[in-house]
Structure 1
């Protein structure tokens, strides 16, 4: 029988899950495998789906629990039936938007990330992307999440150091990329402190935002050290929520 890791099939499922009504997990697995693993017979497809269904069900439940603990919005829901039923929590509008942001120019995506920082309270934002950006594409200074409360010294306000990666939807940001970004943040923080732009105790938030997805290892590492990561769906939600135009200048 064809050997395909459950994690890979789970990735296929999440990428293609667009039904907002309940559907049997085994049914959608069969459809996904038929599309992604071409050349297999109907019998082989059914066998693969049956064999992987228990493990994929467990992987999905683990993801939901991790999202609950991390307070990250889930993009799907899974019931308690056996086999379980699953449905998407993402509207077609958001899915279309997530596809569209994969097609904009990389420098435009960086500017959109900068605009999101401004929308969440950044008073002064600096776009630093370029060949010599040192791995940091945008910086948001003087961020006050609760904009109704302004009595905070400037040196105590949050700054955001961000990396913006406009990738194809099929790309997974891996652990090495996440670690390189963290290294860039450490170097940038030291530079900002030496130049007097921030104080030794100024709070810093590191943000890795992409149009694609993250590997499980990259997500685990980001959660462990506190990186704010947003994938294509999360970015689309933010863009929609803040009413940001993709064609903005």
Structure 2
């Protein structure tokens, strides 16, 4: 076991995920180190999720189940309950791709790092494909890494909680504003998580596009920057979501 790592708070947010929560729990508790706490914030599941959580109570530091205002409200609750120096969100259905202590040992003890991020395996129709994090500059118009493949200092998340104004892109809002403020992002050249493709945040919905436009417009200073990075965002999406984008501007 590795006992040199600072305490890591791994937080899982769940709601009626009886088919996926157990695999996520096992991915966390089977890690190869003991310097972590595991917190589960459930939104009041009624489908059997709580029975699975209770099955592993001896491995879980803290869990609660109560109604919330959405995923980001639950994530903020988890941060306030956490005691670790670093926070990772491994939400229901997501998995660690590797034993993280081997990947992150040096990075986590470096006092200069504020956000640590790596690559992700995207799982689509049962097939895994590696999605490498892109250049950090691309944060100006796109989330260039998967949130599950990141670790953020808890003190930063306490100072800048996830905004509840965004229902599906508040994680991007956080990382973009941290980047603009000059926080240090450190890249680990390895896959950290496995993410199941799909859902409203996959870039195919009008709601996703609207939130991204709002985030870019609210975060960037100066008219030219607002226009330029919104243009870069549309240009990036256009080859994949042409119909959605065109429909968005028509209505």
**Which TM-score tier does this pair reach, normalised by the shorter chain?**
under 0.3
Higher strand share: 2
Radius of gyration: which is bigger? 1
Higher helix share: 1
TM-score, L = length of structure 2: 0.27
Larger relative CO (CA 8 A, sep 6+): 1 or 2?
2
TM-score, L = length of structure 1: 0.27
